Amino acid sequence: MSREKIIVIDFGGQYNQLVARRVRECNVYCEIYSYKTELEKIREINPKGIILTGGPNSCYEEGAAACDCSLFEMGIPVLGLCYGAQLMMHVLGGHVCKAPVREYGRIEVAVDSSSPLFGNVEENTICWMSHNDYIEQAAPGFEIIAHTSDCPVAAVQWKERQLYGIQFHPEVLHTIEGTKMLSNFVYQVCGCAGDWKMDAFVENTINSIRKTVGNGKVLCALSGGVDSSVAAVMLSKAVGDQLTCVFVDHGLLRKNEGDEVEEVFGPNGPYDLHFIRVNAQERFYRKLKGIEEPEQKRKIIGEEFIRVFEEEAKKIGAVDFLVQGTIYPDVVESGLGGESAVIKSHHNVGGLPDFVDFKEILEPLRDLFKDEVRRAGLELGIPHKLVYRQPFPGPGLGIRIVGEVTAEKVRMVQEADAIYREEIARAGLDKSIGQYFAALTNMRSVGVMGDERTYDYAVALRAVSTVDFMTAEVAQIPWEVLGRVANRIVNEVQNVSRVLYDVTGKPPATIEFE
């Protein structure tokens, strides 16, 4: 589909996905590419503008992530952010070196509001800085359009050539007018029209699915989570009767979840689709026996999923297409998008076995961020309650049980998690906390119950607030709620004698445990 596009060139910074999301929030489609992408390829993509991200390197050091100076001569507007700005200056003949004073956090920046980049921005505005290096001297041809008390060159422009650089990070919300600046770039500088709208996306995707599928039969891997539910409803709108949804109960679901999914998508639910529930608990537990390493567990679960689907597909006969609810952060986190390291291989993407017995895999949500998936879901008429469900990873409790998975451990974590969710809801906190769940550590410790020594497991509670699941802060649950949860867990869940609360954000931790 040829829609207007801004591309983000990734130099390994932390906030790169945020840059893309912010641009999309301005109704302009945006994708992330590695800094190693060939210029030829970029020309082919023909973006309306290019944004260079921040990054951990110092651009003047040997081996630092670099770019060709022809990037700035293609006639396409470029905006460099932090490292991207430093690199632009370095490549075009300015001078970048270690800053005498490094800036970190909220800093007041004085901007020249006559620049197109800063149109409608206050002359003194709070921005988020995070740098050790600085631009000591702008490259020839550039004018300085912002400074702080410690940073003489906080933004530069070469208006005629449509080149811009800013030292701070407009993509993080701490930069109060950051979204306005990005919007100025895409509209005032790049001249975008803003055609990235969810209703259009949904309609176009449905049409293109119809074209791809033709008269073929489609099988949708339904987990009951938001992503695959939205994918399933989309497919059902596109190809109706040709779709069968297969829901694999792998025995790693939350308590009662299998039945809840069946209620929504099964024969008594609001959707008219072929629904098959496969109870494959034993089979997954067998495969996972003795396996402790998280990546290996993910791969096994991912592979087994596909095998079950293949078997179901054979029963149906002549199924050409498999649908998965892969979303954009899965693609990027699996190391297939930008420059970021592989954090986890999502079972939808990196965990796919080499051989998959379907003609084609359809991933209609592959381009979307989580909040966009939700908007698409609402657009499709899926009830609010389902669209805003607690996120649940594909490998399920398999990665909320640290170490080996057994049926017994699944029982412990299911019960603990159900108690936790119940109490959070009872305290009226379920809408305000982004994500919360219980995990089972592989730590056993000594306790005392009824005067007898016990040697039982420790459950870890986690709760974070997050908008985009790329970064997260620990949610501050009141002590009395935590106390009640802990009390009930040790009393009601057999073989658990200790409850811990995780107070780590992301980064450095991830939201899930493995």
* Residues making contact with ligand GLN (CB under 6 A): 13, 54-58, 82-83, 130-133
Catalytic residue among 90, 131, 169, 347: 169
- C-alpha closest to that of 456 among 420, 397, 408: 408
What is the C-alpha to C-alpha distance for residues 418 and 492, in angstroms, rounded to an integer? 11
Query: By C-beta, is 58 or 471 nearer to ligand GLN?
Result: 58
How near is the Cβ of 80 to ligand GLN at its closest, in Å? 10
Q: Is residue 171 flagged as an active site residue?
A: yes
Q: How far is the CB of 53 from ligand GLN (least distance, A)?
A: 7
Please indicate whether residue 30 is annotated as part of the active site.
Answer: no
Cβ distance 405 to 396 under 8 Å? no
Q: Which of 367, 358, 361 is nearest to 331 (CA)?
A: 367
Active-site hit among 59, 82, 127, 192 = 82
> Would you call 492 a catalytic residue per the annotation?
no
Q: Closest approach of Cβ 158 to ligand GLN, in Å?
A: 20
Least separation in angstroms between residue 157's CB and ligand GLN is 19
Residue 86 CA, distance from chain mean position: 27
The smaller minimum CB distance to ligand GLN, of residues 131 and 180, is found at 131
Catalytic residue among 103, 171, 304, 339: 171
Task: Measure Cα distances from 165 to 80, 98, 135, 156 in Å.
Answer: 4, 18, 10, 5
Which sign, positive or negative, has the C-alpha torsion 50, 53, 59, 61? negative
Is-contact 393 512, C-beta < 8 A?
yes
- The helix or strand, by DSSP H or E, that contains position 97, with its residue range, turns out to be strand 95-111
d(CA 219, CA 244): 5
Q: Closer to ligand GLN at the Cβ: 78 or 232?
A: 78
CB atoms within 10 A of CB 214: 10
Residue whose CB is less far from ligand GLN, 13 or 251:
13
Residue of this chain nearest to ligand GLN (CB atom): 54
Output 162 or 167, the one with its CB closest to ligand GLN.
167
How is 261-282 classified by DSSP, letter by letter?
A: HHHHHSTTSSS--EEEEEE-HH
Q: How far is the CB of 84 from ligand GLN (least distance, A)?
A: 7
Question: Smallest gap, in angstroms, from Cβ of residue 56 to ligand GLN?
Answer: 5
Which two three-digit tokens encode residue 394? Answer: 């594909």
54/181 Cα distance (integer angstroms): 16
Q: By C-beta, is 55 or 350 nearer to ligand GLN?
A: 55
Euclidean distance between CA atoms 150 and 133, whole angstroms: 12
Q: Show which residues are catalytic.
A: 82, 169, 171
